[in-house]
Structure 1
Amino acid sequence: MSNNSLTVEEQLAKARTLSEALPYMHRFSGQTFVIKYGGHAMGDEELSLMFAGDVALLKQVGINPIIVHGGGPQIGSMLERLQINSSFIDGLRVTDQQTVEIVEMVLSGSLNKKIVSSINSAGGLAIGLSGKDGKLIEAQKLTRTKRDPDSNIERILDLGFVGEPTRINPEILESFEENNVIPVIAPIGVGPNGQTYNINADTAAGHIAAAVGATKLIMMTDVEGVLDKNKKLINRLSSAEVLKLQQDGTIGGGMIPKLETCLYALEEGVESATILDGRIPHVLLLETFTEHGVGTMITDSDD
């Protein structure tokens, strides 16, 4: 439909949207957003094209977006095709030597390049890299323990080549910003002896946001955001309120590690962290450029 076929009301609605967005463009110009991209938004072709266009637009209005992407379903599909068995412990993929090679191939290869290509086609200038490039994400083996309910003995779980960041080296990202490049990062870390580690994308995004002094950490998920006991969306939370909701059981399951990452980023100086529903078209623009935003925003204050 061309603009000429829009009704006056539709044209006025577009004008109001642009008018509402202007103060946010001014406010966030020159600021860095770290965006964790994954879930349905990455698997759906139409949504992925919208995401690419929205990221290019953020850059165009002066925001510095850094993309950190997951790829669990794509990794699972490749392992299945290659008839490699894979298991999970507490939501983390047990990653042996053979599996970590596949994880790196999928995340740093085809998947990363597809995202880069989409952003470039939408008018942005994106470059793909993994956490191993320039030692962007230095990592160590992730250790987890689990208490046996019968014996009450705590045992160490071996997740293989699953890692956690020990240091982020943001210099390479700073050079990208100076050259108006959008970095698209696969969450693969490098160990002290050159080992490859598979890192949870949420965790990697939180640590990168802290290291670059991001204004916003945005985590795209397959849920509306944080829900109360009546399954209603909570639009805004303070760090203290998040802890209370964890303690009373309102927050559970896969939302807990996401919120722990958000709280870590806030402790390290990130201004706000937002859990967004990546299934909503143009959700990045709605969050950034509208008065009330969408999803759940977490800040360090009770204001």
Structure 2
Amino acid sequence: MDPQAAMNVARVLTEALPYIRRFAGKTVVIKYGGNAMVDETLKNGFARDIALMKLVGINPVVVHGGGPQIGQLLARIGKESRFVDGMRVTDAETMDVVEMVLGGLVNKQIVDLINRHGGRAVGLSGKDAGLIRARRMTLRDAADDVVDIGQVGEVAHIDPGIVTLLDQADFIPVIAPIGVGEDGCAYNINADLVAGKVAEVIGAEKLMLLTNTAGVLDRDGRLLTGLSPEQVARLIDDGTIHGGMLPKIACALSAVRNGVRASHIVDGRVEHAVLLELFTDAGVGTLIRG
């Protein structure tokens, strides 16, 4: 390594040190999805980030999505994907595919990748140890009639016992967002919602939502960060925050209003986005303070 490169490494470590001290022993819940789950470079960078966080004393908890992978498998078996208000219509056959993809294929791929990069990850479904109790989601159309979207759920209750146990034993929980209802049925739940509720219940220091955008932008396309809930509410009211960003913002706001110190909407298209947001002054996303 030449002297200039060595000096750059020293600067990076110096900048990161105060953050490592601040967050040592704290829990950070990361929702993993989007481009970061399909691009090989980003996948490996994410796995290294998670393994490094654990090694420096931070407790990462990963909650992952898998919508594109579900859609691909449904297409392979000749089943059409249907959506209502962004929610995948999930009949019994589709739910079987969701469980195979989220609880099996995708979950185990993430676990394997983190372990290959030095972590000790353990895969979980929300059905394990009663982690996620669900209730059926109800949608209504313009006429206020109920729209049946099948086994799509909302979080009714989180039992954090298994997550806490794994954290204390130096494992990294990797959670598939599948819950079980009082009726014994499995439910497909939005991963952002699960990540937010897990963060709230375990009293996480941070919630990080990886997405395919730079974060919250103003009307001139500039990144906004260091926002309070009141500032976010004004940005929603004036239409600056709109469309697909609204559900993520709602999740982030719920977390900070229920005990999480900060929520981050992070650009998952950037390599090592998690570390850059945690350990650098500039970051790569939007921070919402509690």
TM-score by length of 1: 0.94
Task: Please name the residue that 1:162 is paired with.
Answer: 152
Q: CA deviation at 1:157?
A: 2.0
Say whether residues 1:74 and 2:69 are aligned partners: yes
Within a 5 Å distance, the mapping from 1:125-274 to structure 2 comes to 125-147=120-142, 153-274=143-264
Distance (whole Å) between structure 2 residues aligned to residue 67 and residue 56 of structure 1: 11
Within a 5 Å distance, the mapping from 1:38-77 to structure 2 comes to 38-77=33-72
Say whether residues 1:23 and 2:13 are aligned partners: no
Distance (whole Å) between structure 2 residues aligned to residue 157 and residue 228 of structure 1: 35
Distance (whole Å) between structure 2 residues aligned to residue 272 and residue 186 of structure 1: 23
Deviations 1:86-117 (A, max 9, x none): 11111111111110110111000011000000
Task: Please name the residue that 1:150 is paired with.
Answer: none
Distance (whole Å) between structure 1 residues aligned to residue 236 and residue 133 of structure 2: 30
For 2:119, what is the secondary structure of its paired residue? coil
Whether the 8 Å CA contact 1:79–1:85 is kept in 2: the answer is yes
Distance (whole Å) between structure 2 residues aligned to residue 265 and residue 158 of structure 1: 28
* 288, 291, 300: which one aligns with 2:278: 288
Larger Rg: 1
| AA at the equivalent of 2:132 | I
Within a 5 Å distance, the mapping from 1:95-134 to structure 2 comes to 95-134=90-129
* Larger CA deviation: 76-85 vs 230-239: 230-239
| AA at the equivalent of 1:120 | N
Whether the 8 Å CA contact 1:224–1:233 is kept in 2: the answer is yes
Deviations 1:153-191 (A, max 9, x none): 322222110000010000011110111000000000000
Task: Please name the residue that 1:84 is paired with.
Answer: 79
Q: CA deviation at 1:269?
A: 0.2
For 1:237, what is the secondary structure of its paired residue? coil
| AA at the equivalent of 1:223 | T
For 1:138, what is the secondary structure of its paired residue? strand
Deviations 1:23-63 (A, max 9, x none): 11110000000000000000111110110011000000000
For 1:11, what is the secondary structure of its paired residue? helix
| AA at the equivalent of 1:78 | L
For 2:175, what is the secondary structure of its paired residue? strand
Deviations 1:123-154 (A, max 9, x none): 0000001000011000000112232xxxxx32
Identity of aligned residues (%): 51
Instruction: State how many pairs are aligned.
Output: 290
| AA at the equivalent of 1:119 | I
Moved over 3 A (4+): none
For 2:100, what is the secondary structure of its paired residue? helix
Aligned Cα root-mean-square deviation (Å): 0.9
Which ranges in structure 2 are unaligned for 5 or more consecutive residues? none
Distance (whole Å) between structure 2 residues aligned to residue 23 and residue 231 of structure 1: 31
| AA at the equivalent of 2:119 | G
Whether the 8 Å CA contact 1:235–1:294 is kept in 2: the answer is no
Deviations 1:217-275 (A, max 9, x none): 00000000011111211122111111111111111111101010111111110000000
* Larger CA deviation: 238-247 vs 216-225: 238-247
Distance (whole Å) between structure 1 residues aligned to residue 288 and residue 140 of structure 2: 28
Distance (whole Å) between structure 2 residues aligned to residue 209 and residue 268 of structure 1: 9
Distance (whole Å) between structure 2 residues aligned to residue 193 and residue 72 of structure 1: 25
Whether the 8 Å CA contact 1:245–1:251 is kept in 2: the answer is yes
Distance (whole Å) between structure 2 residues aligned to residue 157 and residue 226 of structure 1: 31
| AA at the equivalent of 2:103 | S
